[in-house]
Structure 1
Amino acid sequence: MTVVTRFAPSPTGFLHVGNLRTALFNFLIARKAGGRFILRLDDTDPERSTQEFADAIQRDLEWLGIEWDQLEKQSDRFDRYAAAADELRAKDRFYEAWETPTELDLKRKKQLNMGQPPVYDRAALSLSDDEKTALRAERGAGVWRFKLDHQRIEWTDGILGDLSIDAASVSDPVLIRADGQVLYTIASVVDDTDMGVTHVVRGSDHVTNTATQIQIIEALDKTTPAFAHHSLLTGPQGEALSKRLGTLALRDLREQGMEPMALLSHMARIGSSQPVELVDSIDALAEGFDLEHFGSAPTKFDVEDLWPLTARVLHETPFELVADDIAALGVPADIAPAFWDVARANITRKADMADWWALFRHGATPLVDDEDRDFIAEAFAMLPDAPYDADTWGTWTSAVKDATGRKGKGLFMPLRKAVTGRERGPEMVDVMRLLQVKPTL
C-alpha cells in the first residue's frame, strides 16, 4: 500500500507554527514511507479565500523544503461534492433544515437548563412536505445536515489510542450552508477518499469532527483512512497560543532570519518523548519520525527556543552556501572565507553578519571606561595603520604591556572593548587581521 497524506490549509490567511505542525507531520510520514504528499487548498469560501494567501502558503512550504507531489484546489471539485450530496440524499442520510441562529441558540439554552447535551434536536426531520415548502418560500434555502446513526463511533487513533464517541452526543453536522457553500466536513471526506489518502494527522480539536466524518465515509461506502490527532500548541507558560498565532506567521519568522532546519527540527520533536536535536536534512528528520513518540498533553511552544538552533545551523554552514550573502555585503573575495569563519560563530541570524562587516570595514565606536581613557589613547598611538595580519594583536599587546605595565585582563579587556565596541566576540587575533581601518578614539 502506498502511503498518501495531505495538508489542507485554507487560503484565508498566512501559515503559522500551528499549521506547520500539521503540515510537517503529514509530510514526514509520507517521506519516510516513500509515499505521496498532497497540498490541498481548502478554498470553498470564495469571500475569504485569496490567491495572495494561496501563493504565500506555497512560498512558505517551499522555503522550508516541504515538497508536495500533487496540488489540488477544492474550488475545482464542486461537482464531486454535489455528487456526494446527491448520494447521501438518496440514502436518506441528508436533510434540509431552516432554523435561524437565534432559534438554535434558544434550543441549546433550553437543553442545557434541562441538563441535556446541547445538540440539534432534528426537528427538521418531522416537517411535512407542505411545511418544508412554506419554510423554503419564507426563508429561502435551508442548510443541509448529515443524519448521524446514533451509535458509538470507534477508532484507534495514531496518537491518542482507542477512542469512542457516542454519536447521540453530537449534532448532525451541517455539510452545506444555506448559501450553497460546501463545508470542510464533507469536502474533506470526498477529497480524502477520491485521492486515496491513507493517513490523516491533524489537531486534537478535530476529534469530534473525525467521528462524524467516519460515519460520512461509511455512508458513502468508502475506505476510512488512519486518523491521528496531535496535541495543540500553547505558550511557554501553558497559556493559549491562539491569540498569538498572528505574530508567529512563518513569513514573519523567515523575515526575522529563522533558518528552516532549525524550525523543522524543533517542530518535529516538541511534544514527543524524544529530545529536540538539530537535524541537518529533511530526510534525516523523516527517518527518525514516529507518531508513537507523541502524547496527548498540550505542547508548550516558545519562539525563543528557535534562535539557539538557528545559530547552530549557521555555525555549521559551509562558506559556499553563504558566499553570495557575504559578497552582497561588499566583503572582498580574498578575505570572505576568513570573515565567515569568524562571523558564523558570533551570529544568531544571517543578518547579523552586516554588523560584523561594518565593524571590520569602518571600525567600531570604542567602548572605553573613564579610568582607561588615557591607557587606550596611548595604546592606539602605538598601533600602526592597517592592514593588519595574524601577528598584529600579539605584537601590539606585547608593546603596550611593556610601555604601560598592564597585563592579563587589565590589558586585554580594555583593548577588546576599545577596538570592537563589545565586551565579547571573536578571538582578537582574528579581529585584527580582518580589520580594514585603524581604530580611533
Structure 2
Amino acid sequence: MTASHLPTPTTPVRTRFAPSPTGYLHVGGARTALFSWAFARHFGGTFVLRIEDTDLERSTPEAVQAILDGMSWLNLQHDEGPYYQMKRMDRYREVLAKMLAEGTAYHCYCAPEEVEAMRERQRAAGEKPRYDGTWRPEPGKTLPAIPSDRKPVIRFKNPLDGEVTWNDVVKGTITISNRELDDLVIARPDGTPTYNFCVAVDDSDMQITHVIRGDDHVNNTPRQINILNALSAPLPFYGHVPMILGTDGQKLSKRRDAVSVMDYLEKGYLPEALLNYLARLGWSHGDDEVFSMEQMISWFDLTHLSSSAAQFNPEKLAWLNNHYIKAADNQRLAELVKVDLDKLGADLAIGPDLAAVIALLKERANTTVELAQSAMLFYREPVADADLVAQHITEAIKPALQEFTTACANVEWNKAAISATMKEVLAKHGLKMPQLAMPLRLLLTGQLQTPSIDAVIELFGREVVLNRLAKA
C-alpha cells in the first residue's frame, strides 16, 4: 500500500507529535509535527501533543518549554495534551503487571556485564548480537536460580518466528523477521519503563490512528507493533518521512546549520514562511510553492509524501520569507522589528512612525533582522565619513543644497512635492539627480545607500530635515 493508495479514514483521525525533551525543537521535528497536524485538520480529527520524558538524564524542564514555545510560535495548536509520560507511571505499571501475568513479558536477572558478554560471544561467532533468552520462560525449560542481590529488568517476550509487516504510507511495504528482534527490555531494574513500551501503550491508550514520524524510527516500529499485538490493541497506520539534509548533503548539524525552530525566530523569519517552506520539504501539491496553512489543510492527505531525503535550501527559505514580509501587516512587522532595533541601540523617539518606515523598506528585506538594520538610518544621529563629505559636498553643489533647504521650509510635505522641488533645483543649477541626492543622503542619514531619497525625506519629516541640513 503506497501513500497514494491509503484508504480514506473510516474512524476519527487521531495523530500525535511526541518529542523527547532533550533540547530545542528541531526543524525536522517541526516538519513532522506540521504533517501530523495538517493530516488531523484535513479530516477534522484530533492532534495530540505528547512529551516523551522518560529519559531522566537528558530530559529537562527547559527543553520542554523550548518545545512548547516552538509549537506556539508556529501556531501548531494541539487539541489534547501535552501528556507527559512521567505522569503516566501508574498506567505503565498496570500494563507491565498484566503482561507479566499473561506471559507476554518476564523478569530477567542477567547483569549488564552478562548481557554484554553474550553479545561479545555472538559477535565473535559472526552472529548478530542479541539477548539469548537465558531467562525467557518456555515449557519444559529450567530457569537459573534467582540471584538474591539483583533486581530484575522486565523483558518483552517477542515472537520467535514469523515476520512483522506493515504498509508504510511513505516507504511502502516493510517486512522485518522476528528473528532479527530480541526480547527487548521494557522496564529497568528500578521499574522505570523504556521508550518502545511507553510509546506502544500511549498510542493504544490515546487511540492514535496515524503515526507520522522520522525514518530514524523505522527500526522501532516492528517492536512497537509486536507490543501492540500483545496488548490486543489496534495498529495505527505508520508513515516514516526521510530526514532533512543540509546544503552539503549531510544530516543537519547545529555546527553548520540553523536547526532549532527558535533560531529562525531570532534570525527574523516569520512562522508562516517557515511552515510553508517545511511543508515543501518532502511533500508537494502540484507545482504550488507558496500557500497558506488553510490551503495546506485542504490539500494534505498523506499523498505525495516523498520517500527521498529533502535538502534544506536557505536561499529558498529567504525568498519565501521575503514574500511573506511583503504581504505582512506593517504594524505587526513593526512590533517584531522593535526587538532587533533595541538590540542595535535605536532611538525610536528621534525617528518617524516605525510602521511607515517598514512600509518603505520591506520590499527588499528577507528577514525582520534585515528590516531593523535598514531602519536604523531613521533612528540614529547621522555621522558621515569626512572623506565622503569632501567627495560629495563640493563648492559646486552647496548652492543647490542651500536652495533646496530653503524650499523645504515651505514645500507641501509629501513625496511628490518634494520630488518636484528637487527637480526644479537640479534644472536651475544644471545638475543631475545623484549630484544632489548623494549629499542629501550623507547629511540626513550618514550613508550613501538608502531607498528613494524623496521618500526618505518625507518620512523624516520637515523639522528633522531642516535641523540636519542646517547643522551641515
Q: TM-score, normalised by structure 2?
A: 0.81
Contact in 1 for aligned 2:160/2:178 (Cα 8 Å): yes
Structure 1 position 339, deviation (Å): 2.9
Measured against aligned partners, the alpha-carbon deviations of 1:144-166 in whole angstroms (never above 9, x if no partner) come to 34423421111111111111111
Q: 1:259 aligns with which of 270, 276, 280?
A: 270
**In the alignment, what sits opposite 1:210?**
221
Contact in 2 for aligned 1:327/1:333 (Cα 8 Å): no
What's the RMSD between the two structures over aligned residues? Answer: 3.3
Structure 1 position 110, deviation (Å): 3.7
Q: 2:34 aligns with which of 6, 10, 24?
A: 24
Amino acid at match of 2:426: V
Contact in 1 for aligned 2:228/2:235 (Cα 8 Å): yes
1:383 aligns to 2:409 (yes or no): no
**In the alignment, what sits opposite 1:348?**
366
- CA separation in 2, counterparts of 1:431 and 1:308? 25
Structure 1 position 197, deviation (Å): 0.8
Distance 1:364 1:302, change over 3 A: farther
Measured against aligned partners, the alpha-carbon deviations of 1:8-61 in whole angstroms (never above 9, x if no partner) come to 112232212122122111111101111001111112234443333323322221
Measured against aligned partners, the alpha-carbon deviations of 1:72-91 in whole angstroms (never above 9, x if no partner) come to 22222222212222232233
Q: Residue 265 of structure 1 aligns to a residue in which SS?
A: helix
Measured against aligned partners, the alpha-carbon deviations of 1:93-138 in whole angstroms (never above 9, x if no partner) come to 213334444444444444344332233322332797773412xx24
Q: Which runs of 5+ in 1 are unaligned?
A: none
**Greater displacement, 188-197 / 385-394:** 385-394
**In the alignment, what sits opposite 1:372?**
392
**Greater displacement, 178-187 / 311-320:** 311-320
- CA separation in 1, counterparts of 2:367 and 2:304? 31
**In the alignment, what sits opposite 2:15?**
5
Distance 1:402 1:123, change over 3 A: farther
**In the alignment, what sits opposite 1:427?**
452
Structure 1 position 63, deviation (Å): 1.4
Contact in 2 for aligned 1:346/1:426 (Cα 8 Å): no
Q: Residue 82 of structure 1 aligns to a residue in which SS?
A: helix
Distance 1:101 1:141, change over 3 A: closer
Q: 1:194 aligns with which of 205, 208, 233?
A: 205
- State how many pairs are aligned: 437
Contact in 1 for aligned 2:161/2:177 (Cα 8 Å): yes
- CA separation in 1, counterparts of 2:254 and 2:129? 27
- CA separation in 2, counterparts of 1:159 and 1:60? 26
Structure 1 position 276, deviation (Å): 6.8
1:339 aligns to 2:357 (yes or no): yes
Structure 1 position 418, deviation (Å): 6.5
- CA separation in 2, counterparts of 1:105 and 1:373? 81
**Greater displacement, 259-268 / 368-377:** 368-377
**Greater displacement, 329-338 / 186-195:** 329-338
**In the alignment, what sits opposite 1:399?**
425
Measured against aligned partners, the alpha-carbon deviations of 1:178-223 in whole angstroms (never above 9, x if no partner) come to 2322112111111111111100001111112111111111111110
Structure 1 position 334, deviation (Å): 8.8
Matches within 5 A, 1:43-122: 43-71=53-81, 72-122=83-133
**In the alignment, what sits opposite 1:131?**
144
Contact in 2 for aligned 1:16/1:245 (Cα 8 Å): no
Amino acid at match of 2:144: E
- CA separation in 2, counterparts of 1:347 and 1:376? 33
Contact in 2 for aligned 1:234/1:301 (Cα 8 Å): yes
**Greater displacement, 220-229 / 77-86:** 77-86
Structure 1 position 257, deviation (Å): 2.1
Contact in 1 for aligned 2:17/2:50 (Cα 8 Å): yes
- CA separation in 2, counterparts of 1:311 and 1:305? 10
**Greater displacement, 266-275 / 119-128:** 119-128
Measured against aligned partners, the alpha-carbon deviations of 1:408-437 in whole angstroms (never above 9, x if no partner) come to 666656765765555655333311211243
Q: 1:271 aligns with which of 247, 265, 282?
A: 282
Q: Which runs of 5+ in 2 are unaligned?
A: 1-10, 340-346
**In the alignment, what sits opposite 2:342?**
none
Percent identical: 31
- CA separation in 2, counterparts of 1:210 and 1:35? 23
